């Protein structure tokens, strides 16, 4: 794959991660076609790119047939609801974008002779029986639970991607993304980072489920974008974990947010009463041995630095 002057399609290009990918590829001198239907994406995330000579935007649902005029060197499929709030509100579109959307984008990559990169997720591991989770772990997923619409959509997408690689010879890459945070996250998307920051900035109690004993590993978005960029250019076909292996409890994270925001908020332990918490993983930590070996990648941004930038972003939006 050539290194310069690529023309790339980024689906979900107006989303949290997709918009940062647009920025990165443009900064590297490439041409970007972004595609989004705004079901969870935000036009404000790409407003600064409108008018850029190497940027164009197509409003489209990738679960329908995709047409992109001209050559493409790479297709990065990042379109999907990605938080429990979103995929519980849009369960069928979530399943469609993981199945039909993956099929359509793979078909486009095949027709264009483009390299294909699938945004998968640590959720393919479900509620894991092993910790940390290596790429060789097959997961512990409830296929008929409320989170199954997202987990199984991504597992199917991985299977479809590998089928296109093995049967059609499409150059494919799969990134398994662990918890990522940073500017352009939606304030109300239901994930723990914007939830806690918004509550702290408003002086409200931080609501913590399950006693806050469940663990997560948080990576700043710039580290993830770097890992994805390296993976696209690598020769690795099988999935690669990209995440921060520093594991902490949700209670520890809540305490860090309160401290970083200088908030007077208290921490309230509450009993979950809705389906967003059903099958919530008790632990989540990536084994990044493969990313270190294959990509020469590991996270660089510590929690204090990343949280400071994320809190600054949210201050004007609460």
The active-site residue, picked from 150, 164, 181, 220, is 150
Whether 116 is a known active-site residue: answer no
Cα angle 231, 105, 55; round to 5? 75
Q: Mark 213-248 as b/e (b = at least 16 C-beta within 10 Å).
A: ebbbbbbbbbbbbbbbbbbbebebeebbbbbbbebb
Token pair listed for 200: 């702290």
Q: Terminal CA-to-CA distance of the chain, rounded, Å?
A: 43
Catalytic residue positions? 150
């Amino acid at each position: 794959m050539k290194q310069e002057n690529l023309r790339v399609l980024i689906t979900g290009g107006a989303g949290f991660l997709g918009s940062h990918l647009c920025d990165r590829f443009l900064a590297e001198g490439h041409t970007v076609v972004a595609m989004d239907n705004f079901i969870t994406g935000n036009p404000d995330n790409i407003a600064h790119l409108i008018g850029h000579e190497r940027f164009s935007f197509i409003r489209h649902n990738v679960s329908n047939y995709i047409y992109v005029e001209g050559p493409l060197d790479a297709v990065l499929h990042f379109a999907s609801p990605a938080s429990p709030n979103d995929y519980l509100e849009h369960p069928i579109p979530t399943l469609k974008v993981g199945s039909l959307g993956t099929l359509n984008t793979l078909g486009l990559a095949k027709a264009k002779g483009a390299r294909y990169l699938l945004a998968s997720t640590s959720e393919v591991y479900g509620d894991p029986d092993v910790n940390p989770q290596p790429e060789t772990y097959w997961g512990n997923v409830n296929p008929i639970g409320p989170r199954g619409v997202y987990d199984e959509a991504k597992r199917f997408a991985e299977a479809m991607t590998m089928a296109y690689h093995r049967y059609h010879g499409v150059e494919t890459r799969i990134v398994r993304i662990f918890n990522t945070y940073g500017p352009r996250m939606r304030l109300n998307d239901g994930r723990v980072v914007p939830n806690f920051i918004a509550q702290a900035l408003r002086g409200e109690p931080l609501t913590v489920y399950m006693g806050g004993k469940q663990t997560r590993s948080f990576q700043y978005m710039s580290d993830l974008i770097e890992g994805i960029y390296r993976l696209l250019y690598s020769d690795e076909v099988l999935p690669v974990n990209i995440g921060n292996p520093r594991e902490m409890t949700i209670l520890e994270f809540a305490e860090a947010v309160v401290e970083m925001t200088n908030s007077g908020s208290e921490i309230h332990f509450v009993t979950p009463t809705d389906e967003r918490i059903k099958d919530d993983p008790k632990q989540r930590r990536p084994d990044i041995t493969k990313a270190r070996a294959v990509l020469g990648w590991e996270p660089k941004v510590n929690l204090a630095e990343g949280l400071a930038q994320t809190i600054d972003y949210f201050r004007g939006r609460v």
